[in-house]
Chains A and B, each alone.
Chain A
């Protein structure tokens, strides 16, 4: 069974600092990996999707890397803003097409 771990569970930084969120997974036989954002009381919004054959994806201030062999992904958020405050979830899609989620990292960006 795929296990997804996110470290740290919570993170608080001053505005302008770069954010580094980590995700690890136990089974490297994956189809793809996604990073989602969840705001309080709301559903999930997809941020970046990395196929198993890719090493990274970028969108604006966000960059996600994937090292499938070591079972790791990192989400970088450059020059953080208070609007980046949210919970960030990592999800891995296995070859059975199921998504396995981590418990998330809750980020607070202080103005």
Chain B
């Protein structure tokens, strides 16, 4: 148990649906991250939040909309996705964005867009 939970674990959605991914960390960390992991490709950083403020947005399409209501929760709102958005979406947290400590990852949400 890493202290980072993600729901749902699996999600199938059509291109016209709207859904949300949820991440919760119980570690008292101040930084949270969304990553995308596609088959046979490296993890791609999508968004970084530090103390509830978005500090990174790596050219992610607007059909992905993050939300961080407090330091323990992070959401990724999805709408009008494309089949190429099918991937494993991983949430992570760390004590601080800038310190040398490791990030702690959740188990991920496996997303399939039809």
A and B co-occur in one complex: yes
Please give the residue numbers on chain A whose beta carbons come within 8 Å of chain B beta carbons, in ascending order. 4, 9, 31-32, 34, 36, 41-46, 49, 51, 89, 91, 93, 97-104
Contacts of B40 in A (CB 8 A): 9, 103
Our pick among B43, B56, B97, B98 for the contact of A101 (Cβ within 8 Å) is B43
User: Considering only CB atoms and an 8 Å cut-off, how many residues of chain B contact the other chain?
Assistant: 23
Main secondary structure of the interface of A (DSSP, over half): strand
The number of inter-chain residue pairs (CB within 8 angstroms) is: 50
Knowing that A42-B107, A99-B43 touch, tell me 19 more A-B residue pairs with CB under 8 angstroms. Answer: A4-B42, A31-B100, A32-B100, A36-B105, A41-B110, A43-B4, A43-B90, A43-B92, A43-B105, A43-B106, A43-B107, A45-B2, A49-B100, A49-B102, A51-B100, A98-B45, A99-B45, A101-B43, A103-B40
Please give the residue numbers on chain B whose beta carbons come within 8 Å of chain A beta carbons, in ascending order. 2, 4, 6, 40-43, 45, 56, 90, 92, 97-98, 100-108, 110
